[in-house]
């Protein structure tokens, strides 16, 4: 986050984080929160005199594979967690992306667990499985007054009290500072394979993805590379349908899926994994330096219309995931382009996020949809309930909040 010159604090532990927040609260100093800094380019830049980094709060604190639960301190790189899980053939079901390339981060390792949860970032498996926020079983966090609090726990089913885990996930550090997160994890599929199906255009592509997703074959990824886009040696326009499961199931289901959607070829194993990593990280979008990038989420059947409109109006390049429901858009970083994206999302009754743009643009446009007045009032009241002084990441999501 582009905290102005100002000071930087990187406490060694949770108590240090609490002390730093309490001090900022008492002194009236806004804080810019940072995990490992890989998502600084997302949303709006935070204007804060002080940066609080969670970089030194690292390490896995608890892992029980047979209970499918892992806990780690907020600054732990996702890569470290994923490596520990891989040793036991497990994974984070939400498939959170590694956006360093997209967001122009020079960080040597991936983003942090806390930062990823604070942004609620999920990858291709989101379409059938859960969002990252669905997998957050528990959090420890520091509220805007410097109190150390918990929500949730380490068990899979828990409806005790208001679910602040979900509220904090996706709040981009504006409601509390996550210090430790407990996630539900799951088995990694024994085998993975992808059906690569050439399609004429987005309408045909989304229709193919929809037939895959409405089949009984347990598709776990449904993306489309448009004409001109490519990933891991696969060139668009193609619809991609992924299976991940036990050996026998993938064999059987791929045969059935191929029969239902003929004309494709099957990509297996590491080739398939590389393909989905690229899609997860929006690499096929190949956004040029200086271009803006948006994520638009709509009902899948609305996606072809959105794509046609954005191509015509702003010469956008796109990539589709989540069965078509997630439209990644790259275009010139201009106010007109942004208006076109907002209009397209609103027209499809969906949502958008300005993922990346030069600073002057990020401060001058709404980077996520405006809320109706009644909801905006609730946003302000909930923000005040957690961060009464408005110290945490001011302006990150919306101007003045």
Partner 1 sequence: MIALPPPKADVMARRDEILAGLCALIPGDGVITEALRLRPYETDGLSAYRQPPLAVALPTSTEQVAAVLRFCHENGVRVVPRGAGTSLSGGALPLADAVVIGLMRMNRILDVSFPDRLAVVEAGVTNLGITKAVEGEGFFYAPDPSSQLACMIGGNVMMNSGGAHCLKYGVTANNLLGVKFVTIEGEVIEIGGGHLDAAGYDWLGLITGSEGQIGIVTEVTVRILRAAEGQRAMLAAFRSTEIAGAAVDAIMGSGVIPVALEFMDKPCIHACEAFAHAGYPLDAEALLIIEVEGSGEEQDVLLGRLRAICERFDPISMRVAASAEESMAIWKGRKGAFGAVGRISPDYLCMDGTIPTSELPHVLRRIGEMSEACGLKVANVFHAGDGNLHPLIMFDANDPASFAKAETFGADILKLCVEVGGCLTGEHGVGVEKRDLMPVQFTRPELAQQRRVKEAFDPEWLLNPAKVFPLEGKLAPAPH
Return d(Cα 399, Cα 386) in angstroms, integer: 18
Q: Which member of 2, 7, 61, 89 binds partner 1 (CB under 8 A)?
A: 89
- Stretches 17-25, 26-34, 181-189, 234-242: which one binds partner 1 (CB under 8 A)? 181-189
Q: Which member of 39, 386, 392, 395 binds partner 1 (CB under 8 A)?
A: 386
Q: Which member of 67, 227, 268, 336 binds partner 1 (CB under 8 A)?
A: 67
Q: How far is the CB of 25 from partner 1 (least distance, A)?
A: 14
Q: How far is the CB of 365 from partner 1 (least distance, A)?
A: 13
Q: How far is the CB of 48 from partner 1 (least distance, A)?
A: 20
Q: Which of 173, 183, 132 is nearest to 40 (CA)?
A: 173
Residues 337-356 that bind partner 1 (CB under 8 A): 349-353
> What stretches of 227-340 adopt beta strand conformation (E)?
230-231, 234-235, 238-245, 265-268, 291-297, 317-321, 326-332
Q: How far is the CB of 68 from partner 1 (least distance, A)?
A: 6
- Stretches 26-34, 75-83, 182-190, 263-271: which one binds partner 1 (CB under 8 A)? 182-190
Residues 119-138 that bind partner 1 (CB under 8 A): 120, 122, 126-127, 130-131, 133-134
Residue 7 β-bridge partners: 50
Cβ burial of 215 (10 Å; 0-12, 13-18, 19+) is: middle
Residues with Cβ < 8 Å from 374, sequence gap 6 or more? none
Q: Which member of 31, 213, 278, 307 binds partner 1 (CB under 8 A)?
A: 213
Q: Which member of 76, 169, 179, 393 binds partner 1 (CB under 8 A)?
A: 169
- Stretches 74-82, 284-292, 311-319, 364-372: which one binds partner 1 (CB under 8 A)? 364-372
The answer to whether 230 contacts partner 1 (rule: CB under 8 A) is no
The answer to whether 179 contacts partner 1 (rule: CB under 8 A) is no
The answer to whether 69 contacts partner 1 (rule: CB under 8 A) is yes
Count the residues of the shown chain that bind partner 1, applying the rule CB under 8 A: 82
> CA of 186: how far to CAs of 90, 132, 136, 254, in Å?
5, 13, 13, 22
Return d(Cα 106, Cα 341) in angstroms, integer: 28
Question: Looking at beta carbons only, is 167 or 286 nearer to partner 1?
Answer: 167
The answer to whether 335 contacts partner 1 (rule: CB under 8 A) is no
The answer to whether 191 contacts partner 1 (rule: CB under 8 A) is no
Residues 31-60 that bind partner 1 (CB under 8 A): none
The answer to whether 311 contacts partner 1 (rule: CB under 8 A) is no
Q: Which member of 106, 108, 216, 400 binds partner 1 (CB under 8 A)?
A: 216
> What stretches of 286-390 adopt beta strand conformation (E)?
291-297, 317-321, 326-332, 351-356
The answer to whether 385 contacts partner 1 (rule: CB under 8 A) is yes
The answer to whether 301 contacts partner 1 (rule: CB under 8 A) is yes
- Stretches 7-15, 31-39, 71-79, 168-176: which one binds partner 1 (CB under 8 A)? 168-176
Q: Could you write out the DSSP letters of every residue in 153-216?
A: -SSS----S--HHHHHTTSTTSS-EEEEEEEE-EEPPSEEEEEEEE-SSHHHHHHHHHHHHTST
Q: Which long-range contacts (CB under 8 A, 24 or more apart) does 267-272 make?
A: 267/193, 267/194, 267/196, 267/234, 268/191, 268/192, 268/193, 268/194, 269/191, 269/192, 269/193, 271/232, 271/233, 272/192, 272/193, 272/194, 272/242
């Amino acid at each position: 986050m582009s905290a102005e010159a100002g000071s930087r604090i990187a406490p060694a532990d949770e108590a240090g984080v609490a002390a730093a927040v309490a001090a900022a609260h008492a002194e009236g100093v806004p804080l810019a929160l940072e995990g490992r800094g890989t998502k600084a380019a997302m949303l709006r830049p935070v204007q804060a005199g002080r940066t609080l980094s969670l970089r030194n709060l690292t390490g896995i604190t608890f892992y029980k594979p047979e209970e499918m639960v892992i806990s780690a301190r907020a600054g732990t790189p996702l890569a470290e967690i994923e490596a520990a899980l891989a040793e036991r053939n497990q994974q984070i079901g939400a498939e959170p992306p590694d956006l360093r390339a997209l967001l122009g981060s020079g960080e040597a390792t991936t983003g942090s667990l806390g930062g990823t949860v604070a942004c609620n970032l999920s990858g291709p498996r989101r379409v059938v499985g859960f969002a990252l926020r669905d997998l957050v079983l528990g959090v420890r966090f520091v509220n805007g007054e410097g109190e150390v609090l918990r929500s949730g726990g380490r068990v899979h089913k828990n409806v005790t009290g208001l679910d602040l885990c979900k509220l904090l996930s996706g709040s981009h550090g504006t409601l509390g500072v996550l210090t430790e997160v407990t996630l539900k994890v799951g088995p990694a599929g024994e085998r993975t394979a992808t059906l690569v199906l050439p399609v004429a255009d987005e309408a045909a592509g989304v229709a193919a993805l929809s037939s895959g997703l409405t089949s009984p074959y347990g598709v776990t990824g449904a993306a489309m590379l448009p004409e001109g886009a490519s990933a891991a040696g696969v060139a668009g326009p193609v619809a991609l349908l992924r299976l991940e499961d036990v050996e026998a199931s993938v064999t059987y289901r791929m045969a059935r899926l191929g029969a239902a959607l003929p004309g494709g070829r099957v990509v297996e194993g590491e080739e398939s994994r590389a393909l989905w990593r690229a899609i997860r990280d929006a690499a096929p979008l190949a956004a040029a330096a200086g271009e803006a990038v948006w994520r638009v989420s709509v009902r899948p059947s609305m996606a072809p219309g959105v794509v046609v409109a954005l191509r015509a109006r702003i010469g956008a390049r796109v990539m589709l995931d989540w069965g078509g429901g997630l439209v990644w858009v790259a275009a010139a970083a201009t106010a007109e382009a942004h208006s076109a994206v907002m209009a397209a999302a609103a027209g499809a009754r969906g949502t958008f996020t300005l993922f990346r743009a030069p600073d002057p643009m990020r401060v001058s446009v709404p980077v996520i949809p405006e809320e109706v007045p009644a909801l905006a009032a609730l946003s302000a009241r909930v923000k005040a309930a957690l961060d009464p002084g408005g110290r945490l990441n001011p302006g990150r999501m919306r101007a003045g909040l």
